[in-house]
Structure formats: C-alpha cells, structure tokens
C-alpha cells in the first residue's frame, strides 16, 4: 500500500509528494531533519526530537513555518494515516523554493514534510553477535565550520565516511575529529566500557548530541553504572572491555571488533546486553500516544 506523506501540512500520496527542483534543500542541502521512532503505538522522546529540530533550524536561521505543537500533531497525523504503531519517522524542513543562487533571502517560505514507514537498520545477528567497524580517514566536521550538533541536510561528511566503510567491508565507520580523538560513527554515538564504567565522547569533540545516547546514560544511572562524558582516543577503544553504538534507527548495537582488533573476547559484553534489554522495555512503555 502506498504511503501517505504529510507535505506542508497536507497528506498526499507518495507519488504526489513532490519538491521543486529550485528548493534549496535539494540544491544546497540547506535544511534540517530529525529521525524519530514509534514503538507499540507511542512515539519515543517526541518532545526531545522536536526541540532538537527547532534548535538546528534556529542555528542555521531557518524559520519553521509551524509551531512545535503543530509539528508534533502532524507527526501523529502521518502515523495514523499510515496505520502505523511501530515506525521510523523522518521530519524534514528545507529553506524552501528560491533561485539558483545561494542567497537564502530569495527563499520566502520554508518547506516541510513528514514520512513514516517501517525500518530495520541492521540484521538481527548484529544485535546478538555484535558488529565490526573501522576507523576512516574522513574527519568529522569542525564545529567552527558546520557544527555536528546541527542535523542538517548536508550529510556529505557522514556519507563520505560511510563510503570508506563500505569499501572496507564493514557496516559502520568510526570518525575521528581533527585532533584525532574519537568522535562518532556515521549515524551513531559511540560508547566504551572499562572496569565497569561507561565513557562516551562529549559534544566538545564535535558530535551530535544523541537522544538515544542520553537515554543510555539515564539507564546506566538507573543501574548505578558510572558514566563519564570525556575525550578519548582509539587506544581506549582497542583496550576497552566492551563497546557499543547508539542511535535512533540503530537503537543500541554491540561492537565486537574495531580496525581488525577484537574488543575483549570478541562477544557483546554484559553491560551492553543489560542496557539493550532495558532499552527495549523502556521504548515500549513510554512516549506520546499515537491513537
């Protein structure tokens, strides 16, 4: 069955969800987006995702044409129109239609749309047995250039890293910042476990502030596991007891090998598995009701 897409406030069939070739989101990657998940009829962390979307837009001086409340209602409306209870939601806001020049002043009205569909980022075996990743040469964007905390439509930095990972034959690629410190993967935040403590890079190294990342930290505190947000190098990865990634689409996925080096015994660790199990429970019992 064809999906219903919400485009500028109106539901249309996916074949009719058309954007102008003069839209600056297409021409220049000028816009922002959010990826959100729904579980068992509830949208997980909807407010947090909406707040981040509007913060990203504010950073690039893009005025979203509807209020946060209306955007939230439009997301729920899209889910209902597609009879979805478990879904991945993509919300996109572009600068809108302008001319072939760069000047955003020529774009009088932003465009926004909401897509809701099912998603499975990684095969089940990766969650059970773990995945392998590699470090790539593409460095994470400098915060002084395009701050990685902004979820902009210009994702070439991540895509170039993803291409390197594909060439190396791994499903995810690790990016360092310009100083050589661990930043994040192409679509996920990175965590390591050492001596019963969890560490994850802070925003200052140039990473996206992950909503799933924040949830992991909350869950760890519930289990009285100490979490430190601090800078670390690949040495800490190679010598870690456990490693895992987090992201809205990926959720929590264990890493068993980095750059051909096994993490500990090459199997998902106990803390990782505990957090994965608790996360799956939390997402099913909390969130904004769709119906």
Residue ranges of E strands in 73-154: 87-94, 111-117, 131-135
Instruction: Say if CB 191 and CB 199 are below 8 A apart.
Output: yes
Residue 151 annotated among the catalytic residues of the structure: yes
For residue 106 the two structure tokens come to 């020529």
First to last CA, the chain: 20
Whole-angstrom distance, CA of residue 135 vs CA of residue 159 = 14
Strand, helix or coil at 61? coil
Q: Which of 77, 132, 151, 162 is catalytic?
A: 151
Q: In what order do the strands lie in the sheet with 87-94?
A: 10-13, 4-7, 111-117, 87-94, 31-39, 42-43, 288-289
Query: Could you list the active site residues?
Result: 151
């Amino acid at each position: 069955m064809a999906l219903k897409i919400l485009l500028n406030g109106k539901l249309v069939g996916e074949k009719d969800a058309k954007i102008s070739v003069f839209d600056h989101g297409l021409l220049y990657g000028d816009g922002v987006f959010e990826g959100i998940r729904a579980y068992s009829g509830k949208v997980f962390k909807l407010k947090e995702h909406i707040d981040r979307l509007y913060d990203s837009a504010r950073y690039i001086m893009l005025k979203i044409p509807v209020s946060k409340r209306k955007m939230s209602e439009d997301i729920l409306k899209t889910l209902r129109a597609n009879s979805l209870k478990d879904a991945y939601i993509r919300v996109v806001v572009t600068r809108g239609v302008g001319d072939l020049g760069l000047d955003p002043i020529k774009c009088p009205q932003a465009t926004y749309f909401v897509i809701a569909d099912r998603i499975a980022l990684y095969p089940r075996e990766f969650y059970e047995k773990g995945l392998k990743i590699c470090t790539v040469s593409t460095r994470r964007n400098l915060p002084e250039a395009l701050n990685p905390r902004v979820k902009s439509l210009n994702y070439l930095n991540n895509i170039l890293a993803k291409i390197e990972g594909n060439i190396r034959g791994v499903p995810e690629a690790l990016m360092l910042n310009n100083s050589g410190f661990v930043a994040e993967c192409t679509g996920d935040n990175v965590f390591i476990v050492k001596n019963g403590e969890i560490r994850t890079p802070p925003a200052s190294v140039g990473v996206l502030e992950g909503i799933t990342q924040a949830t992991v930290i909350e869950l760890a505190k519930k289990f009285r596991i100490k979490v430190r947000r601090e800078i670390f190098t690949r040495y800490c990865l190679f010598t870690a007891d456990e490693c895992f990634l987090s992201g809205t689409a990926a959720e929590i996925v264990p890493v068993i090998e980095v750059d051909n080096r096994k993490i500990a015994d090459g199997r998902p660790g106990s803390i990782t598995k505990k957090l994965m199990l608790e996360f799956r429970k939390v997402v099913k019992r909390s969130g904004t009701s769709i119906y």
